[in-house]
Chain A
Amino acid sequence: MSAPLTPSQTVGPYLALGLPWEDGPYAAAAGAPGAIRISGRVLDGSGDPIPDALVETWQSSPEIGVGFRAFARCPSDDDGRWFVFTLRPGPVPGPAGTTQAPHLDVSVFARGMLHRVVTRIYFADEADANATDPVLASVPPDRRETLLARLGNDGHRFDIRIQGLDETVFFDV
Chain B
Amino acid sequence: MPDAFRRDDRDVHPPLDSPPYKSTALRHPKQPLVYLPHTITEVTGPALGPARVGELDHDLTRQHAGEPLGERITISGRLLDGDGRPIRDALVEVWQPNAAGRYRHRWDRWPAPIDPNFSGAGRCLTDTEGRYSFVTVKPGPYPWGNHPNAWRPAHIHFSLLGTAFAQRLVTQMYFPGDPLFPYDPIFNSVRDPDVRERLISSFSIESSRESWALAYVWDIVLRGRDETPMEAGP
With A4-B198, A105-B41 in contact, do A115 and B232 touch (Cβ < 8 Å)? no
**B204 proximal to A (CB < 8 A):** no
Bound state CA distance, A18 and B121, in angstroms?
5
Bound state CA distance, A163 and B33, in angstroms?
12
In the complex, which residues of chain A have a beta carbon less than 8 angstroms from the beta carbon of B34? 138-139, 169-172
Residues of B17-53 contacting chain A, CB below 8 A: 18, 21, 23-31, 33-42, 44-46, 48, 52
**A155 proximal to B (CB < 8 A):** no
B206 smallest CB distance to A (angstroms): 21
With A8-B14, A169-B31 in contact, do A14 and B95 touch (Cβ < 8 Å)? yes
Interface SS of chain A: helix, strand, loop or mixed?
loop
With A2-B83, A19-B95 in contact, do A8 and B37 touch (Cβ < 8 Å)? no
In the complex, which residues of chain A have a beta carbon less than 8 angstroms from the beta carbon of B31? 143, 167, 169-170
Residues of A1-53 contacting chain B, CB below 8 A: 1-19, 21, 44-46, 48, 50, 52
| CB-based contact B16/A115 at 8 Å | yes
Most interface-central of A6, A114, A120 (chain B CB within 10 A): A6
**B56 proximal to A (CB < 8 A):** no
**A141 proximal to B (CB < 8 A):** no
| CB-based contact A2/B198 at 8 Å | no
| Stretch of B63-71, B175-183, B207-215, B223-231 that contacts chain A | B223-231
| CB-based contact A4/B195 at 8 Å | yes
**A65 proximal to B (CB < 8 A):** no
Which B residues contact A (CB, under 8 angstroms)? 1, 7-9, 12-16, 18, 21, 23-31, 33-42, 44-46, 48, 52, 80-84, 93-95, 97, 103-105, 107-108, 119-123, 157, 159, 165-166, 168-172, 186-187, 189-190, 195-196, 198-199, 219-224, 230-234
